[in-house]
Amino acid sequence: MHLKHFVAAACFACLPFAGQANAAVAPDPGQGGESMLVQADKVREVTGKVISAVDREPIPGAFVVEKGTNNGVMTMDDGSYVIYVTSANPQLEISCIGFKTGTYDVGKLGVVDVALESDSELDEAVVVGMGTQKKISVIGAVASVQGEAIKSSSSNLTSNLAGKLAGIVSVTNSGEPGSSSEFYIRGVSTFGGRTTPLILLDDVEISVGDLNRLPAESIKNVTLLKDASATAIYGVRGANGVMLITTKNGAENMRTQVTATVETSFKQPVKMVNFVDGGRWMELYNEASLTRGAAVPTYSAQDIEYTRSGLYPYVYPNVDWKEVLFRKFNLNQRGNVSIQGGGNKATYYMSLNFNHDTGMANAPKDYMFNNNLHQYIYNFQNNITYKLTNTTKLDLRLNVQIVQKQGMQEGESQLFGYLLRANPVMFPATFPAQEGDEYIRFGTAMKTAVDRRLNPYAAMLDDYSVKKENKMNAVLKIEQDFSFITKGLSASAMVNWNSYATSTYKQTINPYYFEVDKSTWSPEDPDNYTLEQVGDAGDTYVSEAYDEPSTDQVFYFDARLNYSRKFGRHNVGALLMYMMRDYRPNKSLSERNQGLSGRATYDFDERYFFEFNFGYNGTERLQKGRRFEFFPAVSVGWALSNEKFWEPISNAVNYFKLRGSYGLVGSDDFNYYEHFVYFDQITINGGGTAYFGPSKNNPYSFRAHAVDAYQVDNPHWERSRKLDVGLDFSLFNQVNVTLDYFHEKRDRIMMERTSWPTIAGYWNATPWGQVGAATNEGFEASINWARNFGQDWRLEMRFNMTYNQNRIDAYEEPAYPEPWRSRIGYPLDGYYQRGYIAEGLFTSQEDIDNHAVQQLGSTPMPGDVKYRDVNGDGVINDIDKVQISKYGNLPRLQYGIGLSLGWKKWDLGLYFTGSGMRTIMISGITPFGEDACNVIEFIDKNHWTEADPDPDAAYPRLGINNADVAQNLEASTYWMRNGRFLRFKTLELGYSFKIARVYINGDNLAVWSPFKEWDPELSWNSYPFSRTFTLGVQFKF
């Protein structure tokens, strides 16, 4: 168990601080303010919680200092603190940016809870691009959440962001450990390249996978930058929005604080697809064959009886493959320890996290290799800030991620596809071992003369791999305060090195397969059956292989010049930054870009705000003369609540601000398979062969060159125009509301010129061009309400939602005479394929005869899908296909609802997430067929039958092969379902002691949706989500 290694490492990391765990720091009068350690028996423990008097939310990172001493601590994520005071009449001085500093008498109290008043002179600091601003000064579209709010028992951090921040649109396609959610900021606005946001960890770019592996304990806050004004400082890298992850820091003169968390989670897969048993499978197979013209049933009544009885499991098997392949539950273990503090010269924060996830595969423990999924993640974060002088500061940050994932070579997700490809009656998973066997006898049956059928259990056990990923992200930053030249002037420079290395070790065996010869068997002697070996002889030898290691590296540098100053009622600020980035993928050409960015801000009396941002960016993907382009953005704001005319209603609406922004952004991340878009890509001697010469029997030959990619004609940056209008207000100092409307138009989208004819000379490749255009617009809202009831009760409710809709404005396609065949005007993220409009199922031969001619690969029969004759020509063909959905798998509407309740030392938290205006497709589920596939219970209960010829049945008439049902497999509205859902995401109950908090957490507890067959966020053959129950304890000392 790797948890013991984590505990040992954590204990070792804490040794240097062990002597301070029960000591407080007090001034030594004889040493001129230097500190000394005071013994534990002379100190007194004081605990408490610091919250905001405005919204009653906890304040993490507030400084709690024993007045007159250097003894201080910082509040935790929930606002709590523990300090050991030494004075006879101690006072606590509590401060935090954005709040008024207060002094509080301790007296004989052991608990001091404090509500800090907002400081109008120095409002709350908000993280923005390349710095921070006062909340009242922010006029871009920005949303933020504390790290504590995204903590969950799920090891998938990205899935926990959905519903927590207005602007995030997310879809999770797999529940497999290590998988990441797809998420976008304000939806999708291009179909020509990258659609995901830029993710920055402490100003350094990371991948979605890196984000997914970060422990929430080390995250201070997560901030979304959504409009052009907020993202312009990042240039072309921020075209799809920016997510800023800020990790925790220590603080000056902060007593060392150690936090340790240990969790154990119990996971149970939910809403898995169920299959029919063997007897029912035989009955359905008979039904399918007879209704499609067979003279006699394939399986006799005796066959079905023998199978159902379970008396002859090796001759008449009845295999529940789900039971064979998967375990009922699995476990997860996680531990985290962090150390935080600081002195006069240096501050530090260190975090070590360990996570062990297991999968669902039911491999035997005594097998030659254990290919149950095991994922081990080690994450180390080290942030050190050191004062070189009073004006010079050095910042060192290191993030290390070590991941080891072992199990099946292609991952456990493939097992869910195997479930459909093997039916319950053809062969058992294994046969009993015989004397002398050193191998497993796997069951199978021949599919063709040379091809055997898939045994899912054998496929699960025939290979194994260990994949290791090592990620190191190192940052060195130096900051210089130039206030001695002019007040408010400073500069900084940052260097980053990012390395990602992978290696994979593989093992493979060749299983032994056997098939029963029923000709020698009789029920009178049931154990007397003959096994015949199928295919090539197996082998107990384990072959080994190593994939070639791969290493990617990124070098990044930026230099910044900052200015911020107040002149009476005038506040001015400026930022100028140069950046360069060199990405060196494994065994490939480097990808480089550089740019100059800037920001200028001005506000008068914190009432009228103006901001100008720009990015002047260059990329090597474009030819000289077009590599650089200027992208400006401007924003304005008006805080009406700071006007005198607002005073009569200020008690009710105590804060009210209007803001708006408009700007241009660009992207060079084209959906084009060659890096340099302005070159032809040619393979020497890779084309066709020409023959010539005097003799046809012995000609000369010449092989032409092949054009693999044509240069893009006159390439530019992909360009976007973004508009945002927002409103922020607060009611009764309790309800905070943020509303935004956004509108974006993109053009110069790169795409294939598919309408160009091959007669023009294009043979091996299709030309590309920047001919696409799209629009994306929507609105979002965030509402937060918090209130204390007396001394013991506290309640907070949160709601946020994002709605967006997009459409294609220009697209490379033929000039269709029928307008319904065009993709223009339809959503980017919908189901692009054209399909038929289904009108239910045929109910009779008369129904077929009276309908338009419908010959789509098979002759229609009652119970087959009936399609609309859109153009009315009496024939169903390709011209009748339309764009079949205005929604796609990516929801237009996504929302989150949260509630937190506290009573004395108890706390309770609930969170719900939901999606709406979303379509899912259930096509591709074909029972029987060439692979004699399994049958899902949904099909058994809902398919059309002659006994019940329901035209609205949820599944058509059965067939035993794809040729029988070819026309039913066409893309159509028949397979579309409403994919909206509401998910009970988390429930957590905790109790706090003096130095510890014990809690129980439930994750993915329930989901409500009009679609009942399986989880609406997944496809039928996806790795399922798990319902997780976690028991945890967190120590703070």
CA distance 90 to 67: 7
Q: At what angle do helices 301-309 and 278-291 cross, to 10 degrees?
A: 160
Which residue did the predictor score with more confidence, 126 or 21?
Answer: 126
Lowest mean pLDDT among 6-15, 120-129, 250-259, 668-677: 6-15
Q: 13: pLDDT confidence band, cut at 50, 70 and 90?
A: very low
pLDDT of 164 reads: 85
183 contacts: CB under 8 Å, gap ≥ 6: 158, 161, 162, 168, 169, 170, 171, 196, 197, 208
pLDDT of 8 reads: 42
Q: Is the pLDDT of residue 761 over 80?
A: no
549 contacts: CB under 8 Å, gap ≥ 6: 501, 502, 503
For the chain, what percent of residues have pLDDT higher than 70? 92
Task: Return the closest-CA partner of residue 264 out of 790, 998, 1035, 1009.
Answer: 998
pLDDT of 449 reads: 57
Q: Is the pLDDT of residue 677 over 90?
A: no
Helix (H, G, I), strand (E, B) or coil at 247: strand
Q: What are phi and psi of 93, to 5 degrees?
A: -105, 120
Task: Return the closest-CA partner of residue 621 out of 610, 609, 611, 629.
Answer: 629
* CATH 2.60.40.1120 segments of the chain: 3-122
E-strand spans in 309-422? 330-342, 346-358, 374-387, 392-407
Cα end-to-end span (Å), the chain: 27
Q: Which residue has the tokens 């399922």?
A: 1024
pLDDT for 559-593, tens place per residue? Answer: 999 999 999 999 999 999 999 999 998 878 788 88
Whole-prediction pTM: 0.84
Helix, strand, coil % in the chain, rounded to nearest 5: 15, 50, 40
pLDDT of 18 reads: 35
Q: 738: pLDDT confidence band, cut at 50, 70 and 90?
A: very high
pLDDT for 429-451, tens place per residue? Answer: 999 998 888 889 999 987 665 57
pLDDT of 119 reads: 63
Q: How many CB atoms lie within 10 A of CB 563?
A: 18
pLDDT of 703 reads: 76
Helix (H) / strand (E) containing 946:
none
Average pLDDT of the chain is 86
Q: Is CATH 2.60.40.1120 the right assignment for the domain spanning 3-122?
A: yes
Q: Is the pLDDT of residue 92 over 50?
A: yes
Which residue did the predictor score with more confidence, 769 or 728?
Answer: 728
Which residue did the predictor score with more confidence, 102 or 268?
Answer: 268
Which residue did the predictor score with more confidence, 960 or 260?
Answer: 260
Helix (H) / strand (E) containing 591:
strand 591-604
Average pLDDT over residues 657-685: 82
Average pLDDT over residues 390-404: 95
Q: Is the pLDDT of residue 519 over 90?
A: no
Average pLDDT over residues 495-504: 95
C-beta of residue 233 within 8 angstroms of C-beta of residue 613: yes
E-strand spans in 117-253? 125-128, 131-134, 142-146, 168-171, 182-185, 198-201, 204-206, 219-225, 242-247
pLDDT of 381 reads: 95
Task: Return the closest-CA partner of residue 622 out of 672, 681, 676, 680.
Answer: 676
Average pLDDT over residues 730-740: 92
pLDDT for 839-871, tens place per residue? Answer: 999 999 999 999 999 999 888 999 999 999 999
CA angle at 256 for the pair 251 and 258, rounded to the nearest 5°: 115
pLDDT of 858 reads: 85
CA distance 628 to 775: 25
pLDDT of 976 reads: 92
Which residue did the predictor score with more confidence, 846 or 74?
Answer: 846
pLDDT of 41 reads: 46
Q: Is the pLDDT of residue 20 over 70?
A: no
Q: 27: pLDDT confidence band, cut at 50, 70 and 90?
A: very low
Helix (H) / strand (E) containing 729:
strand 718-731
pLDDT for 451-486, tens place per residue? Answer: 778 899 999 999 999 999 999 999 999 999 999 999
Helix (H, G, I), strand (E, B) or coil at 974: helix
pLDDT of 17 reads: 38
Task: Return the closest-CA partner of residue 362 out of 300, 415, 420.
Answer: 415
